[in-house]
Structure 1
Amino acid sequence: MESVMRINDLVNGIVWGPWMLTLLVGTGVYLTFVLGFPQLRYFGFMFKEVFGKLGKKTENEGSISSFAALATALASTVGTGNIAGVATALHLGGPGALFWMLISAIFGMTTKFAEVTLAVRYREKDPLGNWRGGTMYILEKAVGQKWLAWLFAFFTTFAAFGIGNAIQANSTAEGLNLGFGIPHLYTGIAIAILTGLVIVGGLKRISDVTTYLVPFMAIFYIIGAILVLVHHMDQIPGALANAVKYAFSDPMAMPGAVAGWSVKIALTKGIARGVFSNEAGLGSAPLVHATAQVDHPVRQGVYGLFEVFTDTIVICTLTALTILTTGVLTANPDLTGAQLTLSGFKIVLGDTGVMILSLGLSMFAFSTILGWYWYGETGAQYIFGVKVIPVYKVLWIIVIIIGAYGGGGNFLKHIWDMADTMNGLMAIPNLIALLWLSGELRKLVKDFDDKHRGGLLK
């Protein structure tokens, strides 16, 4: 096991290292120019499309509505990275990490737009009548590289157990234990039962739950963060100024927790946490966006823009500002992760802040378990066929209990570390597909723009 973990650490350092992060952001920059800055051109249309479809049912057999697909994708992306991940990035990289997180998100919007568009373009129905799509189908049908498609499916299948399951179950258990003193095992059993009741109904039931859960949990957490910021409104300009200043300069002379910050750490940690949170470039969210009932692939791609905007530019920024404006980053140099965010909430809201954060963390994590289940199932059925789905459901529920109860064990830590590596490895075949098909993407965008202007599409 030690030998395996040494190899894993080496590979992890590559897939989450500076060169890979540069490729992730660079792909977003390249596609932004190739596609004519879709995050700006479609910005107004994005809000009109998303909020204009609220409450409208456009689902057919084997598919869900565009908004339901967005909610399920957001359920997966909005997770512990928005609370614990942002705090860790600030702890290690300083205020400048926020700046680089936002830069990666701006270009990540285009990356997510592109991968969602291609996923809808090259989707197909499985033997059970469900739409299936994503990087593996793009690589097989459009790029002609089935071996890369298989690798992506393999990484997705097993990364899901760690990134989308065990880590999230443990975070939920930690959050409820922190706020209400509930034992980890009880939480694990409860989550397993609730998850089982949802996933037994397939994608339709998953999307039904996330359609109601995601808006509620996002608004719940956003209101809590805004309450903290209102009390420190005078500190917001200074926090934003520091984020820009320390993105390009090294505050070595500053005391406390900031003593070890550097420009390189701020950049790498900011981008890494941003990518980890919104998953732009990893190819995960398109697995559910591909199931949407939509009249043009680019229209669903616009929902990908909104996904990154909400996850990182809104929620992650609010988390970062609650930490920076309350001063807990320098006042508590030993704290990191969710504990650091908790300190910011507690300063203003007291025990209520603890409850808000613990419930928010729990809801974020639980919704991620639901969304990532579909990703893992899609990868597994691509490799093994639909016969594997019942087995995958059972394994998913078992891992929830293990993750919630045994979060501190070395065995589970090894699972998490390997899953983190596989999560990063998903990006390699996905980015190959995006760069390979950039010309096809440009044609799809032009076709949508022409039809939209001509009144053929609403």
Structure 2
Amino acid sequence: MTDLMSLLNTLLWESVLTYLLAGVGIYLTLRTRFIQFRHFIHMFSLLKNSRKRDSAGISSFQALCTSLVSRVGAGNMTGIAIALTIGGPGAIFWMWVAAILGMSTSFIECTLAQLYKTKDVNGHYRGGPASYMEKGLGMRWMGVIFSVLLILSFAFVFNAVQANAIAQTSAAAFGFDPLHVGVFLVVVCGLVIFGGIRTIGRVAAIVVPLIASIYLLLTFWIVAHNLERIPDIFMLIMRSAFGLQEAAAGAVGYGIAQAMTQGIQRGLFSNEAGMGSAPNGVASATPYPPHPAAQGYLQMLGVFIDTIVFCSSTATIILISGIVTHPTDVISGIELTQRAFSVTVGEWGSPFFAVAIFFFGFISIITNYAYAENNLVFLQHNHPARLTLFRLASLGMVMFGTLTELPLVWKMATISISLITITNLTAILLLSGIALKLARNYDFQRRLGKIPTFDLVDFPELKLHLEPGIWPNSKLRG
């Protein structure tokens, strides 16, 4: 079974998805006229008023934190180590490339998610790729396929992976029994999950900035104490990215292919641009300025922070430690990253990393669940009793993940991501013209010195495709 999954994974990634992601990213970067570079400063300026919201939605800041932690999670830390051990240091360069191109992809999908959002029976915003497939393309069947795949992946497979990483690091750092870790994790996650998506947003907005700041401060401290090694590490990444490390061995083509495949694959795992996950949280937000494109800009920032800041920080620590030179059958994955922290900062590095992984993994679990519930609502299976069973099943997979080795689950996760991403990329390419028109409208209002505001009068072709009462937004409160 594992061999079959490996074959499917290889076919999808090396023959389809790597080129599709790169192609879509290049295409949208050109169509948006390099929006990620032209409006780089503007992304940060939107943070100033990002805590504003109305009674129907979470704030833009909460949506950003929710998407960030889903991107950064424990699987990200594992993925970077895997990318380095299989693809070499050059994989980091291609992960940067994937992020830069992915910023434009993220802008398009998140703008569309905001535009086509709806309200649930409780009057709260909902939406995401399934909604823009149904309302924008008139293809509910595509939205159903996307929703089923996302639910299986995020509520079950990914949460098991996150829980497994937490259990491994806790056992290595503190000697905790995985069973005890699983019980504690289920209880803590359950308290938040049963509070609903707004509770998840509030928790993410508190925990993410705190743990992220501490993690980055430690990274900067490690870099500051190893400044003389940074130029060599950068050159190592660049040489490996273009096969110069392998030139002497006559394996240039293979080296570049491995670096590109691993870098782009882990880049998608990391920043999730084009996957269609982040738009599920984005649709729940009340944007400020009150325009769909505002969320597109903020989520571009999320991709930048995740990959260029967080992934680069973790990769730098691993490369500084020198531990990546160990044989991959001896040490790999989350253990490699944890060992790298111990090598660079001493005995307390491993416990610190375990605590960081717990918080990142915990928030990722509840965020993944929120994305899955959002798609369950789209499928109209949000009856209270069914929702309770769904929450219990998701928590059951958390417990399963803490107690089981997951090589097959990892293969299933990458195949699932491939199918989800292909479905979503098809939809955003078909709808990209609308997102580009929204971007131009937003930019035009900015040039006039106005606060960009979405007005349906400017988009008469959308009148029959949007849910009544969603736009314009009601009065915002801070």
1:420 to 414, 421, 425: 414
Q: Give the Å deviation of 1:77.
A: 1.0
Q: Does 2:148 align with 1:127?
A: no
CA distance 1:13–1:249, shift in 2 (3 Å): closer
Distance (whole Å) between structure 1 residues aligned to residue 414 and residue 155 of structure 2? 10
* Residue-by-residue CA offset, 1:310-359 (whole Å, 9 max, x unaligned): 11100100111112223222256542212222232222311111112111
**Who is 1:370 aligned against?**
366
Task: Read off the aligned partner of 2:197 and give its amino acid letter.
Answer: L
Taking the aligned partners of 2:221 and 2:349, their CA distance within structure 1 comes to 10
Equivalent pair of 2:56/2:286 in contact (CA under 8 Å):
no
- Distance in 2 of aligned mates of 1:424 and 1:175: 28
> Quick check: 20-29 or 219-228, which moved more?
219-228
Report how far residue 457 of structure 1 moved: 1.1
- Report the Cα distance in structure 2 between the residues aligned to 1:277 and 1:375, rounded to whole angstroms: 16
- 1:16 Cα deviation (Å)? 2.8
Q: Please, what is the CA RMSD of the aligned residues?
A: 2.1
Q: The residue matched to 1:282 in structure 2 has which SS?
A: coil
Matched, 1:17 2:14: yes
Q: Secondary structure at the match of 1:201?
A: coil
Pairs aligned (count): 446
Offset, 1:130: 2.1
Question: Partner of 2:388 in structure 1?
Answer: 390
2: CA distance between counterparts of 1:115 and 1:338?
A: 30
Cα distance between partner residues in 2 of 1:342 and 1:332: 16
| Aligned counterparts of 2:241 and 2:413: Cα–Cα separation in 1 | 30
Q: Give, in angstroms, the shift of residue 117 of structure 1.
A: 0.4
What are the within-5 Å matches in structure 2 for residues 155-166 of structure 1?
A: 155-166=149-160
Q: What is the distance in 2 between the residues matched to 1:11 and 1:151?
A: 19
Shift of 1:433: 1.1
**What is the rounded CA distance, in whole Å, between the counterparts of 2:130 and 2:428 in structure 1?**
12
Deviations 1:385-440 (A, max 9, x none): 311322211111111111112x22xxx55444333322221111110111111211
Q: Is the 8 A contact 1:161 1:419 kept in 2?
A: no
Matched, 1:381 2:374: no
Deviations 1:227-266 (A, max 9, x none): 22222211111111121122112523789xx999711101
1:273 partner letter: R
Whether contact under 8 Å (2:114, 2:282) holds in the other structure is yes
Contact 2:157 2:409 in 1 (8 A): no
Q: Which residue pairs with 1:312 in the alignment?
A: 307
Please give the alpha-carbon distance, in whole angstroms, between the structure 2 residues aligned to 1:250 and 1:155: 40
How far apart, CA to CA, are the structure 1 residues paired with 2:198 and 2:276?
21
1:438 counterpart residue number: 432
Structure 1 segment 281-430 matched on structure 2, within 5 A: 281-294=274-287, 295-330=290-325, 334-387=330-383, 388-405=386-403, 407-408=404-405, 413-430=407-424
Contact 1:172 1:365 (C-alpha < 8 Å) held by counterparts: yes
Q: Does 1:43 align with 2:37?
A: no
- 1:127 positional shift: 2.2
* Matching of residue 221 in structure 1 with residue 202 in structure 2: no
Q: Distance in 2 between matches of 1:11 and 1:127?
A: 40
Is 1:93–1:261's contact at 8 Å kept on the other side of the alignment?
no
Offset at residue 8 of structure 1 (A):
4.1
Structure 2 unmatched runs, 5+ = 453-478
Q: Which runs of 5+ in 1 are unaligned?
A: none
**Normalising by structure 1, what TM-score?**
0.92
Deviation at 1:447, TM superposition (A): 0.5
Give the conservation status (yes or no) of the 8 Å contact 2:193–2:391. Answer: yes
Whether contact under 8 Å (2:75, 2:162) holds in the other structure is no
